[in-house]
Structures are given as structure tokens and as C-alpha cells.
Chains A and B, each alone.
Chain A
Amino acid sequence: MSTDETGQGGAQAHEGAGEFQEPGLSGVPVQKLVQLITPAGERVSHPEFDLWVQDITDEQLCSLFEDMTVIRRIDVEATALQRQGELALWPPLLGQEAAQIGSGRSLRGDDFVFSSYRENGVAYCRGVDLTDLLRVWRGNASGGWDPYAINMATPQIIIGAQTLHATGYAMGIQNDGTDSVAVTYFGDGATSEGDVNEAMVFAASFQAPVVFFCTNNHWAISEPVRLQSHIQLADRAAGFGIPSLRVDGNDVLAVMAATRVALDRARRGGGPTFIEAVTYRMGPHTTADDPTRYRDANELEDWAAKDPISRVAALLERKGLLTSELQDHVRNSADTVAREMRKGCTTMPDPQPMDVFKHVYSAPNSWLDRQQDHYARYLASFGDPAGAVSEEGAR
């Protein structure tokens, strides 16, 4: 089976008109893919979705271009840090910049994000401290930041588990009578998980203000999306009674429009929305992965031609906005962020041995207190506590 047969690959998918019909499977009706900027950088009009981004000024478009460039730089820098032994692991987001910035920049401060581990660009939009962004991947903590400081939960590693948290949080928003929204990010692989399906059942049942943002990057480590689903992912939502949108995930304006539609519906009491952002994981699953073992270089080439940043650059050029000043500014901005992040990473203080016991409970626990006491005595029995955990032993 080729990727094209699924209607989820194929170079033709993003060319031409702003929307088009893709072939369906199993006789299930398919959704039109929303696109506002073509891969060539042409702004195409859309009768419905234009309204949702008509307030975006040239200046804001430049800012989105800057954001996407910065998070790509963060991603490149973090990958380098991993290669240099400063990080244990990193999950690259290369290729998914529009999906993350278009949605992340649509949120309000009082919305709450429950994401997977790849939404580092969304975390950037939420204002995460750059050092905190790397804390987990350096092995210095299991969670990088205080979720309440940026209204974003720390990255979820169990696939799809966070969608339930978002739904419960949204039920809490309902009880509180406010109009904020819980937004959950997950991938195409996660749509097979029971938790994601249960989350949609609950969200629909309670009409909870939650947005299910599915980043279809075509790959769950080595498994292609066609292994997860024989229909377009967006079309699954109808079975739960949840309206869905299928957008070009490499089109920052289309993603923004779709996210705004979903957020607006949730704020008005209209319940959940499912967004499928069709994009591509240009890099490996993580720095520990080797995609050459399972995917075709031609496919990568096809998607490289649909790059989310290049198309905005092309659009800016058409509009006469891609000045050398802008390019310098964006480059400086990215370099500054990368420098700051690298410094934060390499100067991050190591956790202390006894920190291993911290925060398991919020109150004393006799079992753990005893183990902690015994381990402190054990460590104290070594002149240099580092010797206590060396592989060769210190005796």
C-alpha cells in the first residue's frame, strides 16, 4: 500500500486550490483539508476560515515566522546538545513548527495545555523557561516546570494519557463557570489508545470545553498512520459526536484558524472539537531512533517541499515583507534563544542524592522516611558520597 492510497501522503495533496477532496477508504466520507497558504507561499482564500485570521496583520505574520524559526532553532540546538552528551534524549519537532505555533499562539493565558513530549514549540508559546524545557531531557527531573506557572502540564510520556486529564480539567472549568479551555495535544499513534477514545466519550457526554489537537505527523516511531487507522483521523470524531476539522498542519494560518474555531466553540459552551493537523515528522522519533530503517527517502523529499517555514517566507516575500532587516532580526532572535538555552543547560545544577526521595508524598510517610534515613546513613559511611554509586564500588 502506498502512502497516497490512504489520502494522507502524496505531494499533490497540498498543491492547487485551498481545499480539495481526498480519496476515502471503506466508503467513509472524507473531510476537506483546510489550507490558507500553499507550499509555494500563495495565500488562497477560504470562505469560512479567512474570517478567523482576518485580524492577523503583516506584523503578526512576521511574528509567526519568527516564532517558527526560533523553535526550529531550539530544536536544532537541543539535538546538538544531545549529540554532544549534554542531553540524554531529545524528541525533535522538525517539520511540525506550524502546527505548534499556529495552535500555541491561539491560546489564552488562562487556557490549560496537556501535551505529549513533542510540543516543545507549544511550551515556548506558553512562555516556558528555556532551562526548564531541557531539565527532563538532561535527566535532572521527571518534569521540567511548574504547570501552574505557564498553564501547561509537563510533557506526558504515556501515549494519550493526557487527553483524559484535559477532559477532567475541562469538566472542572465547567463547574467553575469560566470560559477558559483545556487543550490536549497527541499524535496519530495515540488515536489508537483506549484513553484517547475514552476521553472523547467523556468530553462529548459532558460537552466539556476541550480541544483535541491531533498532530498527524504520519509516524508513531516506525509505524505509519495507515496502521492506526483506515479512515482519516478527523473522521473518527464523528463517531463520538464531536465536530472535527482537518487542516494542513504545515500551514500556520490554517492551523490558527482551526484552533480559533475550536476554542471559540468551547468558550461558548459548544463542547469539544477534534482537530487533525496533517503534517510530517521530518526527524527521528527521538535522537535514539533511526528512521532510515523504516521509511522512504522520497517521502521525506515530498514533505520537505511543503516546509511550514519556507512557505511563510515565500508569502512574506510575495508581500514584500521579507526584508534583510526582518531576516537579520529573526536570525538574531533564534541565535539568542539558542545561546541562552545552551547556557541554561550546561550550567544546570545537578540534583543532590537525597533529592531522589523528595515529593513522592506531600506529607511524611513512615516507609519512605525510614528508607531515606537509612540511605543517608549509608551515604554518610563514605568519605565521598559519589563513591557510593560508582560502578566499580568504593571499597
Chain B
Amino acid sequence: MAAADFDAAPATPSPQQAFLAVEGLKKHFGGVKALDSVSFSLKQGEVHALVGENGAGKSTLIKILSGVFAYDAGQIHLDGAAYQPASPHDAKISGVQVVHQEFNLLDHLSIAENISIEKLPRTRLGLLDKKELNRRAVTALEAIGLTDIDVRAPIASLGIAHRQLVEIARALQSRSRILILDEPTATLTKRETERLFEIVESIKADGVTVVFVSHHLDEVFRICDRVTVFRNGKTIATDLISDTSPEGVVHRMVGRRLEAQIAEGHETLSLGPVALGVQDLRTAANPKPTGVTFDLHYGEIVGIAGLVGAGRTEILRGIFGMDPIQSGRILRDEKEVRFKGPGDAIASGLGFVTEDRKGEGLVLDMPIAANSSMANIASVSNLGLIKFAEENRQARDAGAKLKLKYGDTADPASSLSGGNQQKVVLAKWLVRNPKVLLLDEPTRGVDVGAKAEIYAILKGLAREGVALLVVSSEMPELMTLSDRILVLSDHEIQGELKRPEFSEENILKLAYGRSEQAGGLTQ
């Protein structure tokens, strides 16, 4: 575990030969198949990319390799011997290290303490050996080319990029053979990304194998040697980067999935005037100087596609006044508005069906009636006194309209199934007759039947003239609902797809490809 170990060349078989082999790996969570026949291999000193949509199985595989989960079936061989780490500690001893997206750093301890946290050096008296501690940290950081840093400074004083480098240094100072980087560039600027890539190149030269999980194909094609594509818990193929192209990889990710759902009876509608104008809106999470610009018309459903971290939710929260916005303008009925909080947004006719039902959408312990009147309580009260009969009537009416399956309006919202809970969230806004409805992942955790019902409700609202803005990670959902889809990547609208152009391939091309332009797009 000493820093000196880093210099020693890991004892591995000759390059070119696979030293980690995964075959037919399966993993279930309850009834859900997370991994269904995953096979791939790692060679010494290669940079190997894992790509696939959200939920395709990359994270599960990483967690199995790093000893967080056990697997149900299949085999993993490391140096020819069966590899079945019982804990992350086990995995580390075998030389497998992960640098997660959310860092495992202790903010108020020093960089040096963080680097040695797994085994702090002690003096003969059993006290913390600060000299040795700092020496090790300096060595570990120098190993990745970081020399301009005071190892005694607390982690909290570092920016995101440096924290990540500290994590990498920590991972490498123990005898790492496989370093897994999970979405390492998600929060980095271009310059920081370049620096990270240089470090990846140098540790690769030292014989360490790097597994690179990324949503950005341009990065994959810059630094990786091979790429393995995941789809629906399966590994589809492993290709040499030199043998494939970004288009080829996207094609493998999507497969031949049905694009039929889109066609089903969608009438072209005459658009109303602009209900909501967004001009160069920059949220606090957006590190770039430019914001997003789009219009939303009455009677229209606009979808926002993009990968996790592309800034979709942040835009909705910014519009709704939940988070402060950095710059840009919001126009409501062509008049500029400034929402100081959700109250202002609601008063202006907006509603927001949030992604996190339990965290933001519902008060689970409270009755269905109380939840459905939460945003509309003024209409069922008089001088601050609740009119319970009126409130119940309103809840029952909304329940009937949304085909809500429930026992009694006095039952707590927690008594309902996921799909019906989501309908209560919808009811909460519908009782207000909103003019503009923002929806974030409107059918997450909802079963198929309820999904179809919710789609019908949303389309019905659009027919009645409501303007809907839908964020979703499920592309079939967006293609079913939307009249247009805006594809977001890195807080920027990469392109807009009209109905005839809808396909998962087109969406993914825009969502992944920062640099390349796909054809047939109206930008």
C-alpha cells in the first residue's frame, strides 16, 4: 500500500493478452434484470470505453467489478483465477479501483489525509505520522503530474477538477491494475478534461488498464483503444476504436428498436401563440457563457431530450423560480417575467410536475385530498379555514378525470401505487387549470398501463390548449408525446427534431455528439 509500490511494474502477463475476462455475467434486482449476459475482457495497458444509454448496465457492471454487488451467474477471471470480490476492500486488494462521479472525499480533511485515509501512517508511538503522510501525498500527486499543490490544504479548498485528480492519485497509490473512471469529464471544463486525458495517457504507459465510462463519444474516440457497447443489460459488441465510427457505436446502442410507437394517431394541430418564451436562459449549474433559447406555444408538447447531467431539470427549475437563474429572460405571453419563487410562477399559470415524487411532488403521509389541493388551497378555503367538503369534491372530480384508483380521499397518498401517486401529482396541478405545465420524467416508476393513461391525459391537455414542456430520459416517451424534441447536451440545445425526424438514433446522435453534426436536422 506504500506509495513506493506505484513505481513497481505490476506483475501481469504480457500485454495484448486479456488478464480480466467477464463471461455471461447476470445480475437481478428483484424481478428486474440489470445484467443479462455481459461478456467482455480487459487487456493490460489499454483504455477501454463502456458506453450505453442510462440503465443499460454499465454502472451495475462497475459495481460488481469493484465488489459492491455480488453477481448471480456467469464468471469473472482475473489472471486466470476466479474473481469474486466480497467487498470494495477485496477489489482494491486485487488492484481494481473506481473513481466515482460523486467523490468519496472527506471535505474538511487535508489532501494528504484523504490520500492515505485507508491506511494512515503512524509513528512508533501510534500517533499520526504527518511527515510520512505528506511525503506519500506528494509522491502520489507527482505520479500523476500534479506538483503545484499544497497537500496540507483541505479538500474543501479544491475545485471539482482537482478533487477528481486527488481521487485518481489515491486510487493509483495502492497497487492499481484496473482504474475505472465513471463519467470523469461530466463536471470538467475543456482544459481540465485535456489534463485528465494526459494523465490517462501517462498511467496507461505505466501499464495500468483504464476503464472509461462516458456519455461523450468524441472523448471515447480520442483516448480509448477499444469500446464495449451495452444495451438493455447486455454487451452488444466490443470493437477496436480504429475499426469503428461514432455512427457505428450509436447504431449499436440503439439496435433495431421499434420506432413504430411514434406513428400512432397523432393529429397535426394548429399552434396557438407563444405561451412561454425562454431567451438565453442560463442556470446556476451551467458553466458555459451561453444559455438556451426556445419558444413553447399553446397547445403544443415540446420534449427535452438529453443525457443525465445535460442540464434538463435545471432549466425547468430555473423557469419555475425554484433555483436562481444566472442570466437570460423568460417571457410569459410575450411579456417578460421574473419569478422570485414557485409562488410567482404558479400565479402566472405555470405548473411543475417534478421528477422526484417522494421528495418534491407529494406529502406522502397526508391524505390524497390534501395533496391534490396543495397548490390550489385558496380555492377550497375561506378566510384561512379549509372547506373539507369542497376539497374532497375537488379531489374526487380530479380522481375521476384521471382514472385514479384509490380507496378514499382521506387515505394517505402513500397508500397508492406509483402510477396513481403520479396521477395525484398531476391532479395537484390540473385542479388549477394551468396554462403552461412543466413535467420532469412524468412516468418514472409508473407501470405500462398507467403510462398510457398519463400520455392520454397529457395529450388531452394539449388539445385543450395547454402548453406542455416535457423532460424525459425515455426516448419512446418523448417520441410518443412531443410535437418537437429539443436535444440538450452540456447545457446547450444541440438541435431540434420535428416529428418526421424522430428516431432514437437521431436523438442519440445529438445527445452524444458534441462535435459531429447529424444529417437531416433543423438546427
Please determine whether chains A and B interact with each other in the same assembly. no
**B-contacting residues of A (Cβ < 8 Å)?**
none
